[in-house]
Amino acid sequence: MAYLSKHRSWKKFMAIFFLPTVLSGFAPHSEEVFKSPARFSWSNLTPSELKNRFVGLSTKTNALGKAYFTLEGHKFMIVGGSIHYFRVPREYWKDRLLKLQACGFNTVTTYIPWNLHEQERGKFDFSEILDLEAYVLLAKTIGLWVILRPGPYICAEVDLGGLPSWLLRNPVTDLRTTNKGFIEAVDKYFDHLIPKILPLQYRHGGPVIAVQVENEYGSFQKDRNYMNYLKKALLKRGIVELLLTSDDKDGIQIGSVNGALTTINMNSFTKDSFIKLHKMQSDKPIMIMEYWTGWYDSWGSKHIEKSAEEIRHTVYKFISYGLSFNMYMFHGGTNFGFINGGRYENHHISVVTSYDYDAVLSEAGDYTEKYFKLRKLFASGSARPLPPLPPLIPKAIYPSVNLSFYLPLFDILPYLNQPVMLHTPVTMENLPINNGSGQPFGLVLYETSICSGGSLFASVHDSAQVFLNDQSIGILDENHEVLQIPKIQGCQLLRILVENQGRINYSWRIQSEQKGLKEVVSIDGLLLTNFTIYSLDMKMSFFKRLRSASWRLAPKTYNGPAFYWGILNAGSSPTDTFLHLPNWHYGFVFINGRNLGRYWDIGPQRTLYLPGPWLHPEDNEVIVFEKIEKGFDIQTRKKPQLQECYETGSGLPDAAGDADPC
C-alpha cells in the first residue's frame, strides 16, 4: 500500500488506528495482490455449508484484545454489497445477485420500503417486485448471506425516506419519535412485516445474519427513547440475529443503542472515524455499513462520478485491516414510477429516475471498471476461485416509436376515478380516497369557478401549472405563490395541476412534506371555495380504462399537458433497451401500463431504462404524459445517455446507434 509504505511498520500504524485484524498473520505486501500465507476465506462460509445453526453472527476478541466477527464460531468477514429488490425487475434479481457473488462478495444488504409495502393503511403488498421473502430465499439459494434494514425510516433517496405518505394526514404525527400515532403505525407494520422475516433468520435456517435498527438516527435525533423502543419492538417479535445501527461519524454516538452493534457510514477510509468508533466499542469489530461507491444524481445538477481506482484502493485498505464492510451501492437500479425522493436547498430538488449511483454494477446490470478492479482484488485474496462471470444481458435498438395519437389532459377526466368535492382544497395526503389513506404519489388536479381576475395566491408543493379553462396562464411552486390572472368575461374554470416531484427523504423537513394545495387559495384576498379535485395517481388500472378513450390524431405541435400513444415493436425476443426522448421536455413514460419514471430535459439523465422482461413480443403500448410541449418520436439506445454527451460530444449516433461519447 502506497500510503502505508511511508511508515516503518504497518502494525504500528494499525495500533495507532486501533484497528483489529481478523486473520492472524495477515499483512498487506502489495497494492495488487494479497500474498499472506493465510488466504482469506470470506467466501467459504455459505448458507448451504452451515447446516447446524446455533450461534449466528457474533463478535469475539482474541488474546491480544483484537475484535472480530464469527459465524457459527468460525472467523468471518462481511464483504457486502447493497442491492434493493424494489429497484430491480424481479426477473433480474438472480442475475444481479450472481454478479455480486462472482465479484467476490458474500453478503447482500437491502432496505425494506414501508411506503411501498403499505401504500394504503392496513393494506400490504409483498407481491412481484416487492416480494421480500422470495428475494431473500433466492439469495440463500445462490449462496449469499443477507443483512436486512427494515427502518421504519430508511432514507435511500426514496419518497419520504420510505415512510408512507398517510402518516402526513391531519392531524400530523411526529415522525420518527415515540409519538403515539407514529408508534402505533410502526407496531402494526412490524406486526405484519416481522413474521415474514422470522423464518429467514440464520438460526431458523435462513440467510439473514443481521438486522438494522432504524437508519442514521444520529443525524435526526428528536427523541432519546425512540431507538430503544424500536430495538425492543424487533426483539419482542422474535428477531434473534445480531442487531446493528448505522450512522456517519458525527451521528454514531447519538444514533447508537445499547444491545446493537454500532456501524459507520463513510465516503473514504478516514482515520478519525475509526478512532471515534473504536472508543465507543473497543471490544467490537469495526463494520462499515455504507461505503459509498458513488452518489445519486438530481435533476438540474451535474452527473456525479467516483473513480474506480479510488474504490479499489479504499476496499484494499478495508481488507488489509480486516474490516467488514458493505458497499453502497453495489447495484443501484432504478427509481421506477414515482418512488424517487428529494432534498431542499432553497428550493425543492428531485432525485432522478436512474439510481445508477455510479455503482459497481450499472443501472442495467452491466459490468463497470469498478467491478473488474474489485473482482481482481478479491480473487487475489480468496481461498477459492471466484465463480465465473454471468453473461451480460443483451441490449437492443428498436424501431422509433411514432406517437401518432393524443388526448389533452382535460379530455381524460372521465376516465379517472370519481372526483372529490370539497369546500376548500386539501393536500393529496388528506384526500378522502384509498380507504382514508389519501393519495401517495402522482398529480392532483384542482378545479373551481372564478368570476374575476386578480392576484391569485396558492401554497403549492411541489410544482403547479395554472389554467383558465384549457389555456395555460402560468406556473406556481413553493417559492412562487402568487400569479396574476387577467381580466375575464363572466365566470370561468380555474384549474391548478399540482405534481408531487418526490417528498424529501432526509432531515426534519420530512415532517411537513404534504403535497398539493393547502387550504387557503384566494384571489385578491378573497377565499376560493367549492373545489372539484381529481386524483391522477396514474396506476395501471387507469391506463386500462384509457384504452377505451377516443384517441385523436396528434398534431405536429401541441402546448400543454397531454397523453400521447404509440406502439413499440420489440420483435419476437424482447430484451433491454434505453428510451431516448429528443425534443420532449418533461413527463413520464408508461410501457404496457408500467411507469418507467420521469424524464426532464434539464438533465443530467437523458434516457430511461426499459427492462426486456417488461416488453411483450412484437407490439407494446407506449403512453407518454408530457406536461409542457409535444416532442417527436421516441428512439432507443443500447447505452444510457447523460446531458454531458450533448454538451461535449457530437450527439450523433454511431454505427451501433449510440451517441458519441456515451
Q: Which amino acid is at 48?
A: S
SS3 126: coil
Q: Which of these is catalytic: 118, 241, 290, 447? A: 290
440: CB partners within 8 A, 6+ apart: 115, 119, 159, 164, 165, 166, 338, 428, 429, 434, 537
The vertex-155 CA angle with 340 and 78, nearest 5°, equals 120
Query: CA 167 to CA 186: how far, in whole Å?
Result: 10
Distance of CA 287 to the CA centre of its chain: 23
Indicate the residue type of 578. F
**CA separation for the pair 342, 515 (Å, rounded):** 13
β-strand 348-350 against 443-450: which pairing, if any?
A: unpaired
Q: Is the distance from CB of 93 to CB of 85 less than 8 angstroms? A: yes
Q: Specify the length of the chain in residues.
A: 662
> From CA 597, how far away is CA 501, in angstroms rounded?
11
Helix (H, G, I), strand (E, B) or coil at 471: strand
Cell numbers at residue 293, please? 461507491
Contact residues for 10 (Cβ-Cβ < 8 A; gap 6+):
1, 4, 27, 28, 320
Residue with cell 443483512: 147
Contacts of 227 (CB under 8 A, 6+ apart): 213, 214, 217, 245, 255, 256, 257
Element at 95 (helix H, strand E): helix 93-103
Contact 175, 163 (CB under 8 A): yes
N-term to C-term CA, the chain: 34
Q: At which residue does the C-alpha cell 487475489 appear?
A: 380
Strand partners, 629: 559
User: What is the C-alpha R_g of the chain?
Assistant: 26
Choice among 118, 157, 214, 216 that is catalytic: 216
- What is the rounded CA–CA span in Å between residue 614 and residue 592? 8
Pick the closest to residue 483 from 470, 492, 472, 499 (CA basis): 472
Q: Which of 285, 292, 358 is nearest to 324 (CA)?
A: 285
Sheet holding 531-536, edge to edge: 420-422, 531-536, 443-450, 492-499, 463-468, 471-477
φ, ψ (nearest 5 deg) of residue 276: -65, -40
Cell of 626: 408530457
Angle at the Cα of 557 from the Cα atoms of 298 and 588, rounded to 5 degrees: 30
Could you give the CA distance from residue 163 to residue 132 in angstroms, rounded to a whole number?
17
- Cell 403499505 identifies what position? 118
Q: How far is CA 73 from CA 21, 57, 70, in A?
A: 17, 8, 5
* Whether 216 is catalytic: yes
CB 275 within 8 A of CB 292: no
Distance of alpha carbon 403 from alpha carbon 624, whole angstroms: 8
Tell me phi and psi for residue 161, to 5 degrees.
60, 25
Respond yes or no: is residue 31 known to be catalytic: no
User: Which grid coordinates belong to 258?
Assistant: 445499547
Q: Which residues are catalytic?
A: 216, 290
